[in-house]
Amino acid sequence: SQQGEEDPQALSIQEGENATMNCSYKTSINNLQWYRQNSGRGLVHLILIRSNEREKHSGRLRVTLDTSKKSSSLLITASRAADTASYFCATDANDYKLSFGAGTTVTVRA
């Protein structure tokens, strides 16, 4: 299996702090995608990083990818209460499916 696995499982931070979560996977990938899910809701796409990219930014989000270590990180800067959600990495090995990790639950305290 090439499923992504996130670390930590849960993260609690104060509003304004940065949140960092990591994702590891097992096999070669075409791209890696990060999603957010609010409790009981749908999956919102955050960012896609391709295997030949090392870093991408989108607003307060910064994603890195290290294919030699088979790992990725998602950094949320200056967190807000609205960032409270579960965050998932999903790997795409160009085989017509995404493999999801178990997610990191982020709680941002006001």
Partner 1 sequence: EPEVTQTPSHQVTQMGQEVILRCVPISNHLYFYWYRQILGQKVEFLVSFYNNEISEKSEIFDDQFSVERPDGSNFTLKIRSTKLEDSAMYFCARQGASSADTQYFGPGTRLTVL
Residues that bind partner 1 (CB under 8 A): 3, 30-31, 33, 35, 40-45, 48, 50, 88, 90, 92, 94-103
Task: For the CB of residue 92, give the shortest distance to partner 1 in the complex, in Å.
Answer: 7
Angle at 30 between CA 9 and CA 92, to 5 degrees: 50
- Closer of 74 and 79 to partner 1 (Cβ): 74
Least distance in angstroms from the C-beta of 16 to partner 1: 30
**Closer CB to partner 1, 26 or 45, in the complex:** 45
Q: How far is the CB of 7 from partner 1 (least distance, A)?
A: 14
Report how far residue 8's alpha carbon sits from residue 21's, in angstroms, rounded to the nearest whole number.
6
In angstroms, what CA-CA distances link 78 with 45, 51, 62, 65, 98? Answer: 20, 27, 12, 21, 29
DSSP 78: S
